[in-house]
Structure 1
């Protein structure tokens, strides 16, 4: 069963949602989780359109952080630390390209590692994740081949892959992040509680005839040796 996880590195509610989705992935290892880009502020021009200026973004977004921190299971946001920083609020572009490049040279888990690393750097460590020096340092903390990642980051096809995700957002009609799309037809919108995510996925799996755990027995049982209470029992 395919699960598309739409998120942005600067999205405050994506931070708790990613934490929960990792638990979901562990509980249901048969799910195919694909990470997709959702840009809240691709470049500063988008911030200016939304807030009037780039400078106006940070005070408003910190208010969002307070709400997201309440949503976060671990309440990890360092809000006071962010208030003391003097850099403007990061844009999405470099961070989304960084995560996409990791996924392109490795796999979806590599994408996730960079994505979570960037969110940790912003929301907990209060670092400017639009700064390439910061992004480089985050990638170097993962197991990804840094030189290969850097080459892929600079390759135009990486930005094109991000733009394809953004087009998919429009095609699906998704209005906000985080968002989960299952099998290209079911939407889980927002940073839902863990139990709601799991219940919804189990309901969809039932409707789709997908077995989330274990194996489906084909045919009938035949003679075999089994381990029962620590002892071999053979038919």
Structure 2
């Protein structure tokens, strides 16, 4: 039996393209083809970085929702609650707090729990248009996964979580990752864009020509 492909999945909970990539990787993992390791890659850490990138918080929301429309066309579904987010009374959130939550879930429950937390937070953000920059939203997700919310919040703000985020940042730097989703395959190959299931299967087969996926 051929060994699984090891994929490091770099993502941010606010990223619509990551929202498309995650279920594709889940399908490959369920089929036993890949083993997924999760890496945080926060696009903008706060309102200041959001303003530097987009000019203003208002422009940030407008431009990012245009990206949501592109994501929806690419996927061919209606999973993106564009109008709900447009009408939401908060600025477009940073993914930093969600990344800390995902790392806390990983520390407390492992890689699969990181993934479950990440996917649920993305649903809160992209389907329900809730504010994932608010701690209450993230603790609600943690509670759904069975965590004690006091312990979970303490873990989110721990030195171990900060060290995990820094380790992921350095890993991204090593491979010159500048956008997400990005995937490192077998510690060697970088896939730097959202890739549909059939295309990713073919790509993996090319990376290991002797294997048959």
Q: Select the structure that is richer in helix.
A: 2
- The 3-state SS of whatever aligns with 2:10 is strand
Matched, 1:117 2:120: yes
Instruction: Name which of 42, 45, 56 aligns with 1:42.
Output: 45
Instruction: Name which of 182, 188, 191 aligns with 2:191.
Output: 188
Task: Quote the RMSD (CA, aligned, Å).
Answer: 1.7
Q: 1:36-93: CA deviations, max 9, x gaps? A: 0111111222111111222321011110000011123543001111111110000011
TM-score by length of structure 1 reads: 0.83
4+ residue stretches of structure 1 with deviation over 4 A?
none
Q: Which has more radius of gyration?
A: 1
With over 3 angstroms needed to count, the CA separation of the structure-2 counterparts of 1:71 and 1:197, relative to structure 1, is: same
Matched, 1:165 2:151: no
Q: Which residue of structure 2 aligns with residue 68 of structure 1?
A: 71
Structure 1 residue 9: Cα displacement: 0.5
Which ranges of structure 2 fall in alignment gaps of 5 or more residues?
none
Q: Which residue of structure 1 aligns with residue 14 of structure 2?
A: 10
Instruction: Name which of 78, 87, 105 aligns with 2:108.
Output: 105
Confirm or deny: 8 A CA contact 1:177 1:190 kept in the other structure.
yes
Aligned residues: 209
Confirm or deny: 8 A CA contact 2:25 2:36 kept in the other structure.
no
Confirm or deny: 8 A CA contact 1:16 1:73 kept in the other structure.
no
Structure 1 residue 103: Cα displacement: 0.6
TM-score by length of structure 2 reads: 0.91
- The 3-state SS of whatever aligns with 1:56 is helix
